[in-house]
Homo-oligomer: A and B are copies of this chain.
Amino acid sequence: MSILFSRQCEYALQAVCYLALKKEGEMTSIKELTEKLEIPYHFLGKILQNLSRKGLLRSLKGPTGGFALGMPPKEITLFHVVEAIDGVKFTSGCVMGFPECTGKNPCAVHEHWAGLRDGIYRMLVHRNIAEVAKDMRKGVYTSLRH
Protein backbone atom coordinates (compact mmCIF):
# COMPACT_ATOMS: atom_id res chain seq x y z
CA MET A 1 0.00 0.00 0.00
CA SER A 2 1.09 3.51 -0.59
CA ILE A 3 1.01 6.01 2.24
CA LEU A 4 -2.16 8.01 1.81
CA PHE A 5 -3.13 7.93 -1.86
CA SER A 6 -3.34 5.01 -4.26
CA ARG A 7 -0.47 4.44 -6.67
CA GLN A 8 -2.68 5.65 -9.51
CA CYS A 9 -3.33 8.84 -7.62
CA GLU A 10 0.34 9.42 -6.88
CA TYR A 11 1.12 9.03 -10.58
CA ALA A 12 -1.70 11.40 -11.47
CA LEU A 13 -0.41 14.05 -9.07
CA GLN A 14 3.09 13.75 -10.50
CA ALA A 15 1.88 13.96 -14.09
CA VAL A 16 -0.41 16.93 -13.56
CA CYS A 17 2.37 18.85 -11.85
CA TYR A 18 4.70 18.01 -14.70
CA LEU A 19 2.16 19.31 -17.22
CA ALA A 20 1.72 22.48 -15.19
CA LEU A 21 5.36 23.35 -15.86
CA LYS A 22 4.76 23.38 -19.60
CA LYS A 23 3.77 26.45 -21.60
CA GLU A 24 0.00 26.79 -21.63
CA GLY A 25 -1.37 24.89 -24.61
CA GLU A 26 1.76 22.84 -25.21
CA MET A 27 1.03 19.16 -25.70
CA THR A 28 3.06 16.50 -23.92
CA SER A 29 3.08 12.86 -24.97
CA ILE A 30 2.69 9.87 -22.69
CA LYS A 31 6.09 8.84 -23.92
CA GLU A 32 7.75 11.91 -22.48
CA LEU A 33 5.90 11.68 -19.19
CA THR A 34 6.62 8.00 -18.82
CA GLU A 35 10.34 8.54 -19.39
CA LYS A 36 10.74 11.55 -17.15
CA LEU A 37 8.57 10.28 -14.31
CA GLU A 38 9.37 6.58 -14.62
CA ILE A 39 5.76 5.45 -14.68
CA PRO A 40 4.63 2.36 -16.67
CA TYR A 41 3.53 3.53 -20.13
CA HIS A 42 0.12 1.96 -20.57
CA PHE A 43 -0.82 2.39 -16.96
CA LEU A 44 -0.13 6.10 -17.18
CA GLY A 45 -2.10 6.22 -20.43
CA LYS A 46 -5.18 4.96 -18.64
CA ILE A 47 -4.77 7.42 -15.80
CA LEU A 48 -4.45 10.38 -18.15
CA GLN A 49 -7.47 9.24 -20.13
CA ASN A 50 -9.37 9.15 -16.89
CA LEU A 51 -8.30 12.67 -15.99
CA SER A 52 -9.27 13.81 -19.49
CA ARG A 53 -12.77 12.41 -19.17
CA LYS A 54 -13.16 14.42 -15.99
CA GLY A 55 -12.00 17.60 -17.65
CA LEU A 56 -8.79 18.05 -15.72
CA LEU A 57 -6.77 17.36 -18.84
CA ARG A 58 -7.43 17.63 -22.54
CA SER A 59 -5.93 15.36 -25.16
CA LEU A 60 -5.14 15.34 -28.84
CA LYS A 61 -4.40 12.35 -31.05
CA GLY A 62 -1.86 12.08 -33.80
CA PRO A 63 1.70 13.31 -34.08
CA THR A 64 2.06 16.60 -32.19
CA GLY A 65 -0.71 15.21 -30.02
CA GLY A 66 -0.56 14.50 -26.31
CA PHE A 67 -1.98 15.87 -23.10
CA ALA A 68 -2.25 19.30 -21.53
CA LEU A 69 -4.09 20.82 -18.61
CA GLY A 70 -7.79 21.12 -19.31
CA MET A 71 -8.28 24.28 -17.28
CA PRO A 72 -6.19 27.33 -16.37
CA PRO A 73 -3.50 26.19 -13.94
CA LYS A 74 -4.65 28.74 -11.40
CA GLU A 75 -7.98 26.97 -11.17
CA ILE A 76 -6.57 23.52 -10.46
CA THR A 77 -5.35 22.24 -7.10
CA LEU A 78 -3.89 18.92 -5.99
CA PHE A 79 -7.25 18.28 -4.36
CA HIS A 80 -8.96 18.20 -7.76
CA VAL A 81 -6.64 15.40 -8.80
CA VAL A 82 -7.10 13.38 -5.62
CA GLU A 83 -10.84 13.87 -5.86
CA ALA A 84 -10.87 12.62 -9.46
CA ILE A 85 -8.84 9.47 -8.80
CA ASP A 86 -9.25 8.35 -5.19
CA GLY A 87 -12.35 10.28 -4.22
CA VAL A 88 -12.71 12.19 -0.99
CA LYS A 89 -13.26 9.40 1.48
CA PHE A 90 -10.24 10.50 3.50
CA THR A 91 -12.24 13.60 4.48
CA SER A 92 -14.67 11.46 6.41
CA GLY A 93 -14.37 8.02 7.94
CA CYS A 94 -12.69 6.84 11.09
CA VAL A 95 -8.93 6.32 11.00
CA MET A 96 -9.32 3.30 13.29
CA GLY A 97 -12.05 1.89 11.06
CA PHE A 98 -14.94 2.12 13.51
CA PRO A 99 -18.13 2.25 11.44
CA GLU A 100 -19.98 4.23 14.11
CA CYS A 101 -17.33 6.78 14.94
CA THR A 102 -18.86 10.26 14.93
CA GLY A 103 -18.61 13.50 16.88
CA LYS A 104 -21.16 12.20 19.38
CA ASN A 105 -19.71 8.72 19.39
CA PRO A 106 -15.99 9.30 18.89
CA CYS A 107 -13.08 6.88 18.89
CA ALA A 108 -10.10 7.79 21.04
CA VAL A 109 -8.26 9.64 18.30
CA HIS A 110 -11.28 11.21 16.65
CA GLU A 111 -10.42 14.81 17.51
CA HIS A 112 -6.74 14.43 16.86
CA TRP A 113 -7.40 12.90 13.46
CA ALA A 114 -9.94 15.60 12.60
CA GLY A 115 -7.16 18.14 12.92
CA LEU A 116 -4.79 16.11 10.79
CA ARG A 117 -7.46 15.48 8.18
CA ASP A 118 -8.00 19.22 7.87
CA GLY A 119 -4.26 19.63 7.57
CA ILE A 120 -4.20 17.19 4.68
CA TYR A 121 -7.03 19.03 3.01
CA ARG A 122 -5.24 22.35 3.40
CA MET A 123 -2.07 20.81 2.01
CA LEU A 124 -4.01 19.91 -1.13
CA VAL A 125 -5.87 23.17 -1.67
CA HIS A 126 -3.88 26.08 -0.30
CA ARG A 127 -1.86 26.57 -3.46
CA ASN A 128 -2.96 26.18 -7.07
CA ILE A 129 -1.15 23.81 -9.39
CA ALA A 130 0.89 26.60 -10.99
CA GLU A 131 2.42 27.55 -7.64
CA VAL A 132 2.83 23.93 -6.61
CA ALA A 133 4.62 22.98 -9.80
CA LYS A 134 6.91 26.01 -9.63
CA ASP A 135 7.91 24.92 -6.13
CA MET A 136 8.43 21.41 -7.36
CA ARG A 137 10.99 22.57 -9.85
CA LYS A 138 13.31 23.37 -6.99
CA GLY A 139 13.03 19.80 -5.81
CA VAL A 140 12.17 16.50 -7.41
CA TYR A 141 12.01 17.91 -10.92
CA THR A 142 15.40 19.65 -10.89
CA SER A 143 17.18 16.64 -12.30
CA LEU A 144 14.82 16.46 -15.29
CA ARG A 145 15.26 18.22 -18.58
CA HIS A 146 12.17 19.78 -20.08
Contact = CB atoms under 8 A, between A and B. Distances in A.
A57 to B, nearest CB: 17
A113 B123 contact: yes
The listed residue with most B CB atoms (<10 A of its CB), out of A106, A107, A115, A124, is A107
Q: Please classify the interface of chain A as helix (H, G, I), strand (E, B), loop, or mixed, using the class held by over half of its residues.
A: loop
A140 B100 contact: yes
Contacts of A19: none
A135 B115 contact: no
A136 B107 contact: yes
How many copies make up the complex? 2
Interface in A1-58: 1-7, 10-11, 13-14, 17, 38
Interface residues of A, number: 51
A119 B110 contact: no
30 contacts: A2-B97, A3-B89, A3-B90, A3-B93, A4-B95, A5-B95, A11-B97, A13-B96, A14-B96, A14-B97, A78-B109, A94-B140, A100-B140, A100-B143, A101-B139, A105-B142, A106-B138, A106-B139, A106-B140, A107-B140, A108-B127, A108-B132, A109-B132, A110-B139, A112-B119, A112-B122, A112-B123, A115-B119, A116-B119, A116-B120
